[in-house]
Amino acid sequence: MTKINLPETGQPRIVIVGGGFAGLALARQLAGKPFQVVLIDRNNYHQFQPLFYQVAMAGLEPSSIVFPFRKLFQDYSNVYIRVTEVASIETENRRLITPLGIVNYDVLVIATGAETNFFGNAKLAQLAIPMKSVSEALYLRNAILDDYEKALTCPDVEERQGYLDIVIVGGGPTGVEVAGSLAEMKQYILPKDYPELNIGEIEIYLIQASGELLTGMSNAASEKALTFLNELGVIVKLKTLVVDYDGETVTMNDGSTLRARKVIWAAGVTGAPLPGLPETARGPAGRIRVDRFHKVGGLDEVYAIGDIAYMEEEAYPKGHPQLAQAAMQQAANLASNLLRQKAGKPLRTFKYRNLGSMATIGRHRAVVDLPRFQFQGAFAWLIWLLVHLFQILGVKNKVFVFFNWVWNYLTYDQSLRLIIRPRAPSHKNN
């Protein structure tokens, strides 16, 4: 197999697999430094995951929350982008096998993030709709709008209910935010777009396995989120497990069923490790075990950061939360250590600083947990907006998102309700 075309610069080659929050933050920290940095990702852009649900609900264009890698690094001659996937790692040879060829490395950093966890249920994996990429968010948007169009011409009440109702599985931030956004769409948008429908027939269900929403946040945040969802008309089922789904009917562990053609799966994530790692490197939930310096045990110059990394710390004996802030802090510490190592300085152990967590449940409804206090309501909602706006990459993206939010706020409307079905040119199908 041939090598991927990369120049031999004489600088140590650091290969970063994954351009999410962790991988991108590390590449940015090392841009312009005395390394050759190779960033590998299956896409040529970074995706801002916290706003996927707004793309799915037709509130934002996908282009507003993605940013091309090459544009970000166009002023740095030491950063190289390769759009491909890693088939396996050969740690003994210090190289990666990809469909494009072999990539040799001096230092390997695995930042592949996490993928949707269906807990071994093959039918749910096939039929439920996850929310881990822009393409999946667009698929969900199409599915919702397409089913409302079908409901207009469906005379059978029970069948029509299947088109109208939506089931969301998982009461974490993603599930709560999707449920709140759907409820607001039902209240403000659908009566104008679909006046022929009886909007009262639309039911939105949020199903959570545990007895509380937003597990990991404060009790006050959990209780207030439940109150907000109830106010919006979302039917919340706690201590309930989804055990089966056939594309038409959702079955719970208590034997009850719901008719729904759309099940949004936000019930958990699992790590996405690369083939070729030893079994000793595998930690809980598919994550990779690392030490306090981010190094994968037993391997030379192999590190893992972000959602994929499982690092035990005194305050976090079960690993750090799989959040953007943890990923970026790990990237900053690893970048510093790589530079310190090159300079012959002692390395620094990683210590996670909890900056807080938050979730929004619609207009003027949000919950924020900071290290020393918590608050909910309109002020929390404003804080959520500001934090996420400033985290988006690119001035143009920030402006587009801001004006979309302002327009939606003033008009109670969204202008992106398009059903777009990608199709290859006819000659491609012959």
CATH number of the domain encompassing residue 213: 3.50.50.100
Determine the pLDDT at residue 209.
94
DSSP 4: P
* Domain termination residue (choose one: 237, 266, 295): 266
Q: How many domains does the chain have?
A: 2
Domain boundary among 249, 266, 283: 266
Residue type, 138: L
Beta-bridge mates of residue 108: 15, 302
The angle subtended at Cα 391 by Cα 268 and Cα 396, nearest 5°, is 125
Do residues 294 and 261 both lie within one domain? no
- E strand or H helix at 169: strand 166-169
Assess whether 208 and 278 both reside in one domain.
no
Q: Tokens 């976090």 label which residue?
A: 316
Indicate whether 132 and 255 sit together in one domain: yes
- In this structure, what CATH number is given to the domain that contains residue 285? 3.50.50.60
The verdict on residue 381 lying in a domain is: no
- Measure the CA–CA gap between 378 and 392, rounded to whole angstroms: 22
45 and 64 belong to one structural domain: yes
Judgement on whether residues 260 and 273 belong to the same structural domain of the protein: no
Query: What would the pLDDT profile of 400-429 be if each residue is shown by its tens digit?
Result: 999 888 888 887 776 556 666 665 555 545
3-class SS at 393? coil
Same domain, 305 and 259: no
Domain that residue 273 falls in? 13-116+269-342
User: Is 394 contained in some domain?
Assistant: no
pLDDT tens string 112-142: 999 999 988 999 999 999 988 999 998 898 8
Beta bridge partners of 104: 95
Decide if 259 is inside a domain: yes
Q: Domain check: are 166 and 297 in the same one?
A: no
CB 263 within 8 Å of CB 169: yes
pLDDT value of position 376: 96
384 within domain boundaries: no
Instruction: Tell me what the pLDDT averaged over the chain comes to.
Output: 91
| Tens-digit pLDDT profile for residues 197-222 | 888 899 999 999 999 999 989 999 99
Q: Which helix (H) or strand (E) holds 109?
A: strand 107-110
Instruction: Please give the pLDDT value at position 155.
Output: 87
Mean pLDDT within 369-375: 92
How does pLDDT run across 300-357, given as a tens digit for each residue?
Answer: 999 999 999 999 999 999 999 999 999 999 999 999 999 999 999 999 999 999 999 9
For the chain, the farthest-separated pair of C-alpha atoms sits apart, in whole angstroms, at 75
Q: DSSP letter at 2?
A: P
Report, as an integer, the average pLDDT of 173-198.
90
Say if residue 126 is in the same domain as residue 225.
yes
Note the pLDDT tens digit of each residue in 61-89.
888 999 999 999 999 999 999 999 999 99
Same domain, 192 and 248: yes
Is the predicted pLDDT of residue 16 greater than 60, yes or no? yes
pLDDT at 3: 85
Q: Computed over its alpha carbons, how large is the radius of gyration of the chain?
A: 23
- Is 418 contained in some domain? no
Q: Is residue 53 part of a domain?
A: yes
**Angle (CA) 236 319 136, round 5°:** 50
Give burial (CB, 10 Å; 0-12/13-18/19+) of 64. buried
DSSP-derived secondary structure for 136-147:
HHHHHHHHHHHH
Tell me: do 137 and 109 sit in the same domain.
no
Say what the pLDDT of residue 415 is. Answer: 59
Instruction: Using pLDDT thresholds of 50, 70 and 90, give the confidence band for residue 58.
Output: confident
Residue 358 in any domain: the answer is no
Average confidence (pLDDT) over 17-34: 96
Taking residues 360-369, report their average pLDDT: 94
Residue where a domain terminates, one of 313, 342, 371: 342
CA dihedral sign of residues 313, 317, 319, 321: negative
Cα separation of 428 and 356, whole Å? 49
Q: Tell me: pLDDT of 430 over 80.
A: no
- The pLDDT value recorded for residue 42 is 94
Three-state DSSP at 164 gives: helix
- How far is it, in rounded angstroms, from Cα 199 to Cα 152? 11
Q: Are residues 74 and 138 in the same domain?
A: no
Give the model confidence (pLDDT) of 153-162 as tens digits: 888 888 888 8
Please give the Cα distance from 248 to 11 (Å, whole number).
57
**Do 275 and 150 have their domain in common?**
no
Q: Does residue 22 form part of some domain?
A: yes
Q: What is the pLDDT of residues 254-308, one digit of tens each?
A: 999 999 999 999 998 898 878 899 988 999 999 999 999 999 988 999 999 999 9
